[in-house]
Amino acid sequence: MSRSVSRALALLVALTVLLAACTGTTSAPTSQAPGGGAKAAYGGSVTFAMNSDISNMDPMLSGLFVDRHLMYAMYDSLVRVTPKGEIIPWLSALPTISADGKSYTFKLRTDVKYHDGTAFDADSVKWNLDRYRTTTGSLRLGELAPIDTVTVVDPSTVRVDLKAPFAPFVSVLVDRSGMMLSRKTVEAGGADFTRKAFKAGSGPFILTEAVKDDHYTFVKNPDWWGKAANGDKLPYLDTVIIKPITDSDVRLTNVKTGQVQATNAVTGKDVPTVKADPNLVYQEIAGIGYNSLVPNRAPGFLFSEPRYIKAVSLAMDRAELLAKGPAQGVGVVGYGPLAPSHFAYDASFKPFEKADIAGAKKLVADVGKGPLKFELLVSSGDAATLQGAQLLQSQLAKADITMDIKTLLFNEIVTLQQQHKHPGMTYINWSGRIDPDGNVYDFNFTGRPNNDSAYSNKEVDALLDQTRTTSDAAKRKELFLKAQQIFVVDDPSRIFYSFPAAQLLTAKAIQGFQDFPDQLPRFETVWVQK
């Protein structure tokens, strides 16, 4: 055989061998131990999959939900929440609040050190809060806007004075705005800190390796201050690895083969499979976010007529949309922004429980301007959302409402609705906040930045303002529910239709992993059954 031909054939042979060699490396699933109430064991490692890569490790500059997966492992915040949504002490005791509701005093833990060895104290708290609320380009400016001054009273006491009473203030400090970072490390990091936040936190785990699009490795912080209810020193695990895996099928395959032991993102179509898998444990609770359609109520636009909004709301079959739409049954049907895990939730509030075709037709006829026809803007390329939109389209058609779907780039939709220029409706999810205020106020109060429907109702404004100045929970709940009746039913601001679920899928050997309504994993209580 000639030289060139044989060389070419040799390449082929080499390739075939290569292919064959590659097939031999599938890794075996990890061994499973039977569950039970055994005593928690120390050591071991857990690999957790999230559904996309993070953008930013700096709580000040982070604008994506996914970033917070890492932050809960590496940073501590001043206060935290329980799975039930109650605020609990963390780096600080619960603050004492002055009678006028404007002054908050935080008593800090004195046994906390950052991973870089520097101490956590009142100066550090002041530096962090001031950094978040005064730096140009900080994304925490809005949340911390109620703060007037931060004062160091003594090394373990900080007083925060507000410009005006603001009942939900403490809830803001649960998350990014309340996360405490080492000044030394942040300043040394400079512009690159956003991606290389090693040793900046004081949390239960220390970030040791960050490989973009691949994995983030954390090792146990042996000096962490936290203890379990039974007195065990936390955390149990030696190592935590967080991996971004964008494709849901790849993610699930990784969990099934044991390369990943936990994830909080399972698509609806796969839920029956994982529930049936004896090697996996699936938990699901109602989240704190909501899904909604946002009509443009600005004068001159179609939906400045509230009866049209109500007609669409009546014609929708929310149960079918949840069951057959992109969620495939994962989540809870909803009618307003107050989620089941909020203290202000009212389970009996079901204004549009069944689709009311006749009612919808009658409302459109009452307006008397002919059939209702509008445009729904949907982000292009988002297959799941488009599927849901087409389902909704077919539901509304039954009430003779024509909904055209128009795909635009996500940024354009955001811009249009921000300027209140979208012709019909847009489709928007809200990731949710712990206090109902974070789900309600900015979306319904006249002129607020997230009030994309250009909604304005004096009565709602007045009620919502009262929820901020009243600190009594029962009173606040009553006010929220009153407002909700108006901006959902009587004079609708937008169409709320479901709450997403907070999911948690773990391998059977993984113990102590709690599902939180905010969907974020907390690794300090997790342990591996040997």
Task: Detail the DSSP E strand segments found in 19-78.
Answer: 45-50, 76-77
Q: Which is nearer to another protein, 105 or 380 (CB)?
A: 380
User: Is the distance from CB of 416 to CB of 271 less than 8 angstroms?
Assistant: no
Q: Which is nearer to another protein, 198 or 349 (CB)?
A: 198
Q: Based on the shown chain and the rule CB under 8 A, indicate whether residue 485 belongs to the binding site for another protein.
A: no
Q: Based on the shown chain and the rule CB under 8 A, indicate whether residue 15 belongs to the binding site for another protein.
A: yes
Report the nearest approach of another protein to the CB of residue 517 (Å): 17
Q: Which is nearer to another protein, 18 or 347 (CB)?
A: 18
Q: Based on the shown chain and the rule CB under 8 A, indicate whether residue 279 belongs to the binding site for another protein.
A: no
Query: How many residues bind another protein, per CB under 8 A?
Result: 83
Q: Build a one-symbol-per-residue string for 433-452: x at contacts with another protein by CB under 8 A, - elsewhere.
A: ---------x------xx--
Kindly tell me which residue out of 277, 305, 382, 478 binds another protein, with binding defined by CB under 8 A: 382
Q: Which is nearer to another protein, 101 or 142 (CB)?
A: 142
**Region 291-310 residues binding another protein, contact defined as CB under 8 A:** none
Q: Which stretch binds another protein (CB under 8 A): 32-40, 156-164, 297-305, 407-415?
A: 407-415
Report the nearest approach of another protein to the CB of residue 497 (Å): 16
Q: Which is nearer to another protein, 88 or 397 (CB)?
A: 397
DSSP for residue 487: I
Three-point CA angle 107, 344, 359, nearest 5°: 160
Biggest alpha carbon–alpha carbon distance for the chain: 96
Q: Which is nearer to another protein, 257 or 469 (CB)?
A: 257
User: Sign (positive/negative) of CA torsion 360, 365, 371, 376?
Assistant: negative
Q: How far is CA 133 from CA 60, 151, 435, 503, in A?
A: 9, 14, 20, 33
Structure tokens that stand for 102 in this block: 């404007």
Q: Based on the shown chain and the rule CB under 8 A, indicate whether residue 381 belongs to the binding site for another protein.
A: yes
Q: Which stretch binds another protein (CB under 8 A): 81-89, 355-363, 385-393, 473-481?
A: 385-393
User: Is the distance from CB of 206 to CB of 115 less than 8 angstroms?
Assistant: yes
Report the nearest approach of another protein to the CB of residue 98 (Å): 26
| Amino acid present at 382 | D
Report the nearest approach of another protein to the CB of residue 1 (Å): 8
Report the nearest approach of another protein to the CB of residue 490 (Å): 26
Kindly tell me which residue out of 40, 384, 486, 489 binds another protein, with binding defined by CB under 8 A: 384
Report the nearest approach of another protein to the CB of residue 272 (Å): 10
Q: Which is nearer to another protein, 201 or 326 (CB)?
A: 326
Reported as type and span, the H/E element at residue 477 is: helix 473-484
Q: Which is nearer to another protein, 93 or 323 (CB)?
A: 323
Q: Which is nearer to another protein, 417 or 467 (CB)?
A: 417
Q: Which is nearer to another protein, 191 or 229 (CB)?
A: 191
Q: How many CB atoms lie within 10 A of CB 437?
A: 22
Helix (H, G, I), strand (E, B) or coil at 88: strand
Distance CA 143, CA 230 (A): 36
**Region 16-45 residues binding another protein, contact defined as CB under 8 A:** 18-19, 21-26
| Amino acid present at 201 | G
**Region 117-176 residues binding another protein, contact defined as CB under 8 A:** 136-139, 141-143, 145
| Parallel/antiparallel/unpaired status of strands 103-107 and 147-154 | unpaired
Task: Supply the Cα-derived Rg of the chain in whole angstroms.
Answer: 26
Contacts from 413-420 at CB under 8 Å and sequence distance 24+?
Answer: 413/377, 413/378, 413/379, 416/377, 417/294, 417/296, 417/452, 418/449, 418/452, 420/296, 420/298, 420/301, 420/452, 420/453, 420/454
Q: Which is nearer to another protein, 354 or 369 (CB)?
A: 354
**Region 190-249 residues binding another protein, contact defined as CB under 8 A:** 191-192, 194-195, 211-214, 245-249
Distance CA 173, CA 181 (A): 13
| Amino acid present at 286 | A
Report the nearest approach of another protein to the CB of residue 405 (Å): 5
| Parallel/antiparallel/unpaired status of strands 45-50 and 76-77 | unpaired
Distance CA 502, CA 266 (A): 10
List the helix and strand counts (H, then E) for the chain: 15, 23
Q: Which stretch binds another protein (CB under 8 A): 53-61, 85-93, 100-108, 159-167?
A: 53-61
Kindly tell me which residue out of 110, 415, 446, 514 binds another protein, with binding defined by CB under 8 A: 415
Q: Based on the shown chain and the rule CB under 8 A, indicate whether residue 63 belongs to the binding site for another protein.
A: yes
Q: Which is nearer to another protein, 157 or 393 (CB)?
A: 393
Q: Which stretch binds another protein (CB under 8 A): 58-66, 104-112, 223-231, 496-504?
A: 58-66
3-state helix, strand, coil in the chain (%, to 5): 35, 20, 45
Report the nearest approach of another protein to the CB of residue 485 (Å): 26
Q: Based on the shown chain and the rule CB under 8 A, indicate whether residue 474 belongs to the binding site for another protein.
A: no
